[in-house]
Amino acid sequence: MQLGLLLSLSLVLQPETILQSQTRLPTLAVVSVLPRTDQTTGCAVTLRNNHTRSAVAWVIESLPYHDLGATTDNVLAPGAKIAPSTDTAVLFPCQVGELPALEVMAVIYDDNTVGGDPKAIASRIIPHRRSLADGLADLAELLRAARPPRGIEGASAQLSALIRQSSSSKLTGRAREEAATILGRVIGKGGVASDFSALAEAVRGEMLSAVQLLRATAQ
C-alpha cells in the first residue's frame, strides 16, 4: 500500500472520535474475488462503496471462520480512497487456487464515521495508526538536529540514508516507508532538494503533520 498526500485536518476530522459513531452504517460490498492473472499468491478483490461518503480504511476477513484477514488504511493517502458509487480492486492474501468467501467487517469513512463492527477498527486499524504516529514522531525528532552523513553526495540521498539508518524503540519499518514517501513528495515539490538542512526541515514538517493527523484519528 502506498501512502500519498496528507489531507488537511479541517477536511478530515470531525468532533466525534471514530469509536463514538452511533449510527449503524454500511460497509463495502465485495463484488468479486478472482485469482491474480500472474498466478502468484493473493486474490484480486473488487470492492464497491454504496455509501455517500468515501471509504478511507477497511478490514476484510474470510468466511465462515475468519481465519484470513487484511487491513487497508489510506488516512495519509486521500487519492486511494474509494469514492461513493465507485468500485476498486484490492489484494487479499489467499493462496493460489483458493477463492475464499470474503466480507468487509468494518470501514472508516472520510467523516470519521464507522460502518460495520467498531471493534474490528479498534483492534486492527487504530493500533497501527498509533504505532505509525509514534515512529514518525521519533524520526522527526531525530531529524531536528541531523547532520549529513559522510561519504554520500546529494541532500536527497543523504536524507534517505538517514531515514534508513536511524533507530529508536518506536521506529518501525512501516514508519520508514512512510518517511521515504514523504521525502519523495517533498522532493517532487522542488525548491529544497539541493540543500540538506532545508530538505530535512521540510520533511520534518510533513512528518509532524502526519503525526498530528494519525493521532487525531486514532482516538
On whether both 73 and 39 belong to a single domain, the answer is yes
On whether both 148 and 182 belong to a single domain, the answer is yes
Q: What is the mean pLDDT of the chain?
A: 86
**Is 2 part of any domain?**
no
Q: What pLDDT score was predicted for residue 1?
A: 37
**Hunting for cell 493521532 — which residue is that?**
215
Other CB atoms within a 10 A radius of the CB of residue 77 amount to 19
**Is 4 part of any domain?**
no
The total domain count for the chain is 2
Q: How far apart are CA 91 and CA 112, in angstroms?
A: 24
**Is 153 part of any domain?**
yes
Boundary of a domain, candidates 85, 116, 147: 116
Q: pLDDT tens digits, residue range 60-103?
A: 999 988 888 899 999 999 889 999 999 999 999 987 778 889 99
For 72, the grid coordinates are 487497508
On whether both 101 and 158 belong to a single domain, the answer is no
Q: Give residue 66's domain range.
A: 9-116
- Which residues share a beta bridge with 115? 25, 107
Q: How far apart are CA 15 and CA 41, in angstroms?
A: 41
- pLDDT above 70 covers what percent of the chain? 89
On whether both 46 and 141 belong to a single domain, the answer is no
**Is 197 part of any domain?**
yes
On whether both 33 and 132 belong to a single domain, the answer is no
- Which residues share a beta bridge with 33? 45
**Is 1 part of any domain?**
no
On whether both 111 and 141 belong to a single domain, the answer is no
Q: Is the dihedral of CA 157, 128, 140, 182 positive or negative?
A: positive
On whether both 40 and 83 belong to a single domain, the answer is yes
Mean pLDDT of 24-50: 88
Mean pLDDT of 95-124: 92
Instruction: Judge whether residue 21 has pLDDT over 70.
Output: no
Residues in the chain: 219
**Is 40 part of any domain?**
yes
Q: Report the chain's C-alpha Rg in angstroms.
A: 19
Q: Is residue 187 within 8 Å of residue 199, measured between CB atoms? A: yes
On whether both 166 and 86 belong to a single domain, the answer is no
Helix ranges (H only) for 70-124 are: 118-124
* CATH number of the domain within which 56 lies: 2.60.40
